[in-house]
């Protein structure tokens, strides 16, 4: 009998061109008046963002920095720079947290957080900025630290805590201490992560008092700087009041006592430099602990079109439309995109691409969400979940369609299908708000409540239950207080801005449009470390007894 003949199908260049990811065409005229005016508006917003970020990075300012220097200490960002491997990227999170929130200026909420490489290993780094109110914890400082820990847990990132903090900001104690997502949760997270095998390392460079004393105490391994780091449950004044004992800081909680007598610390460093070098040594010796990431599946390749053009494509007015494909073309490798269901539900764009060599399924908005768009997005989310491909949401959504025609067509149930799919998809989700994120469109497009691994905003982005104009119109019809209407519109406008959002940690930071590709690329690299539902105890595609499918009941 004849051996089975193997037929090899050769791909012709035509099939490759037609059916694989192809370079997106782009018809952007960079000299058109529309492009130029959009660009100018976005340029000035980006400049404003850069200025605010640069100011926040100075922490408590020149005087507070000088005080720290005079005490022979390194500044928080100097400690950070020493910790990180030279010339490696640092993905800083929420650098404008707490901006314009408190009556005092609390730059970055008095805390620096971000993901960087330490001794060739990606780590979550959390640094107290003692130049800002003694590094004490305001409500948003706690929120920022908890968010950093959440990201660390989701991605299996070892945590490094560079500690120097006066503990809870006492006037705010009611909003930092008692509740579930308050101070105690920091230590709960440390204990949980340590149990999961995610290393918790700390170095103590200044006072670490009361609640703060538990950061080093709960670390797996720690280092303290002599004559500088201090750990105690209560400082000398409180000890005197409570017990009558008179004692100085150093004898009560200094490094040499803790390293030789109490055993609260594991190593004594002569100064900041040595402490950081020791932390680098600890991280270098972690062995198999932690979770390695996957390598990119493709060779990375720059987009064909310049990301600089994003400013003139999008602009700053959310009412001005643009084609999300023009944005995708400036973010993905080689500007190549294999579009899914291109001719159906055209107000949403779905398709496959690579960013820095990592595969990704992209969902982008091109208008209001109608039933077909919601159904198409739902199918695409199911496809990506099935194939374990991370999802990137590029958001510019005014919401789901309203009106009797849409209601009769079942927009509520079709929108709910998309929301359900987003909520249950067991793949990493990344969200970038490029324009508006309004109404239930925010839910369907993986808003904060849908636990995307990261959520970033562009400086022009707007977020709210609806646009400020619509909202004040609705209020006019339901409220009888005319005074309220006058102020409401401008109040809502202010509350919808990216700056307002980022100050309150509704996102992980405002990014420049031109940085989108690199930032999302880092996000995908991190997501490859733990592609499944890492933060939960079990996988979602099983019910409590390990059987069944994972999406619940789609309303048909
Ligand atoms: N709550 C609120 N504000 C605090 C604070 C806290 N826990 N700790 C420090 N601050 C503020 C100070 O009021 C001061 O504010 P100002 O610049 O507006 O005057 C600023 O932080 C710097 O404090 P200062 O004492 O001048 O600096 P320092 O470097 O000499 O000392 C500390 C820093 C943290 C060692 C010292 O302020 C301290 O011991 N704070 C109290 C710590 C404490 O008991 N915490 C209990 C937490 S439960």
DSSP assignment of 362-374 equals EEEE-SSBPHHHH
Predicted ipTM > 0.85 = yes
Residue 67 tokens, joined = 């005080």
Answer yes or no: is pLDDT of 540 > 90: no
Picking from 31-40, 228-237, 465-474, which range would have the lowest pLDDT averaged per residue?
465-474
Who has greater pLDDT, 234 or 513? 513
Atom of ligand 1 nearest to the CA of 133: 21
How much is the pLDDT for 542?
55
CB 145 within 8 A of CB 173: no
**Is the predicted pLDDT of residue 19 greater than 80, yes or no?**
no
Q: What is the pLDDT of residue 491?
A: 84
In this predicted model, what pLDDT tens digit does every residue of 186-213 receive, in sequence order? 999 999 999 999 999 999 999 998 878 9
How high is the pLDDT of residue 124? Answer: 98
Question: Per-residue confidence at 121, pLDDT binned at 50, 70, 90?
Answer: very high
Buried b / exposed e over 485-500, threshold 16 CB at 10 Å, is: eeebbeebbeebbbbb
60 lines ligand 1 (CB under 6 A): no
Phi and psi, residue 441, nearest 5° = -60, -35
pLDDT of residue 21: 83
132 CB less than 6 Å from ligand 1? no
Q: How far is the CA of 136 from the centre of ligand 1 (A)?
A: 7
pTM > 0.80: yes
Lookup: tokens for 115 = 């993901």
| Contact 398 CB / ligand 1 (< 6 Å) | no
The packing angle between helices 139-155 and 183-195, to 10°, is: 10
CA 466 to chain centroid, in Å, comes to: 23
The CA 115 to ligand 1 mean position distance, Å, reads 28
Q: Is 71 in the pocket of ligand 1 (CB under 6 A)?
A: no
Choose the residue to mutate in 76, 107, 136, 215 for probing ligand 1, maximizing ligand atoms within 8 Å of C-beta.
136
- Quickly state the pLDDT bin for 537 (edges 50, 70, 90): very low
If pLDDT is split at 50, 70 and 90, which confidence band does 315 have? very high
Q: Is 96 in the pocket of ligand 1 (CB under 6 A)?
A: no
List pLDDT tens digits, range 57-79: 999 999 999 999 999 999 999 99
pLDDT of residue 549: 63
Determine which residue's CA is closest to atom 21 belonging to ligand 1: 133
Q: CB neighbours of 490 closer than 8 A, spacing ≥ 6? A: 468
Give the number of the atom of ligand 1 that is nearest the alpha carbon of residue 207.
35
Using pLDDT thresholds of 50, 70 and 90, give the confidence band for residue 545.
low
Distance CA 524, CA 456 (A): 13
Can you tell me the distance from the alpha carbon of 454 to that of 540, in angstroms, rounded to the nearest whole number?
A: 19
CA distance 180 to 279: 30
Task: Tell me 97's DSSP state.
Answer: T
Report the alpha-carbon distance of residue 518 to residue 534 in Å, rounded.
Answer: 24
Q: CA-to-CA distance for 98 and 500, rounded, in angstroms?
A: 9
Q: Which of 136, 138, 166 most suits a substitution to test ligand 1, by most atoms within 8 Å of the C-beta?
A: 166
- Per DSSP, 444 falls in state H
pLDDT in tens, 384-442: 999 999 999 999 999 999 999 999 999 999 999 999 999 999 899 999 999 999 999 99
141 lines ligand 1 (CB under 6 A): no
Rg, C-alpha atoms of the chain: 26
Using the 8-state DSSP alphabet, how is residue 206 labeled?
E
Confidence of residue 536 (pLDDT cuts 50, 70, 90): very low
What does the DSSP 8-state code read for residue 163? Answer: E
């Amino acid at each position: 009998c004849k051996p089975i003949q193997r037929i090899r199908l050769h791909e012709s260049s035509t099939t490759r061109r037609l059916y694989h990811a192809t370079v997106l065409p782009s018809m952007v005229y960079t000299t058109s008046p529309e492009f130029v005016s959009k660009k100018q508006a976005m340029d000035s917003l980006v400049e404003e963002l850069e200025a605010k970020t640069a100011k926040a990075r100075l922490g408590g300012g020149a005087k507070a920095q000088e005080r720290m220097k005079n005490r022979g200490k390194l500044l928080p960002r100097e400690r950070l720079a020493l910790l990180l491997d030279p010339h490696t990227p640092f993905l800083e999170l929420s650098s404008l947290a707490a901006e314009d929130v408190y009556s005092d200026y609390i730059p970055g909420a008095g805390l620096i957080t971000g993901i960087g490489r330490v001794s060739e290993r990606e780590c979550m780094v959390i640094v107290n900025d003692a130049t800002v109110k003694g590094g004490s914890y305001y409500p948003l400082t706690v929120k920022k630290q908890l968010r950093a820990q959440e990201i660390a847990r989701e991605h299996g990132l070892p945590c490094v805590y560079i500690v120097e903090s006066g503990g809870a900001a006492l006037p705010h104690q009611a909003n930092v201490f008692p509740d579930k997502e308050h101070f105690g949760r920091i230590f709960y997270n440390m204990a949980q992560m340590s149990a999961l095998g995610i290393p918790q390392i700390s170095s103590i460079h200044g006072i670490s008092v009361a609640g703060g004393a538990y950061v080093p105490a709960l670390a797996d391994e720690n280092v303290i700087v002599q004559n500088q780091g201090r750990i105690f449950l209560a400082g000398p004044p409180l000890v005197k009041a409570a017990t009558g004992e008179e004692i100085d800081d150093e004898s009560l909680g200094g490094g040499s006592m803790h390293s030789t007598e109490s055993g609260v610390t594991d190593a004594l460093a002569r100064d900041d430099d040595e402490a950081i070098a020791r932390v680098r040594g600890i991280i270098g010796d972690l062995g198999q602990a932690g979770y390695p990431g996957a390598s990119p599946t493709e060779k990375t390749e720059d987009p064909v079109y310049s990301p600089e053009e994003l400013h003139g494509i999008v602009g700053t007015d959310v009412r001005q439309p643009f084609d999300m494909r023009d944005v995708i073309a400036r973010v993905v490798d080689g500007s190549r995109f294999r579009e899914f269901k291109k001719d159906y539900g055209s107000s949403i764009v779905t398709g496959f691409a690579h960013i820095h060599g990592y595969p990704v399924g992209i969902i982008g908005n091109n208008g209001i969400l109608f039933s077909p768009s919601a159904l198409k997005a739902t199918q695409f989310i199911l496809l990506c979940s099935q194939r374990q491909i991370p999802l990137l949401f590029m958001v510019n959504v005014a919401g789901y369609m309203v009106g009797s025609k849409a209601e009769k067509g079942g927009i509520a149930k079709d929108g709910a299908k998309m929301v359900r799919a987003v909520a249950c998809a067991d793949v990493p989700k990344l969200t970038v708000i490029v324009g508006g994120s309004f109404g239930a469109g925010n839910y369907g497009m993986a808003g904060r409540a849908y636990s995307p691994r990261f959520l970033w905003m562009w400086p022009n982005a707007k977020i709210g239950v609806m646009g400020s104009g619509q909202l004040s119109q609705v209020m006019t019809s339901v409220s009888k207080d005319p005074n309220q209407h006058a102020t409401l519109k401008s109040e809502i406008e202010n509350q919808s801005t990216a700056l307002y959002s980022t100050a309150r940690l509704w996102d992980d930071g405002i990014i420049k449009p031109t940085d989108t590709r690199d930032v999302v690329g880092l996000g995908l690299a991190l997501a490859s470390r733990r592609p499944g539902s890492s933060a939960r105890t079990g996988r979602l595609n099983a019910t409590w007894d390990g059987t069944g499918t994972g999406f619940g009941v789609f309303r048909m």
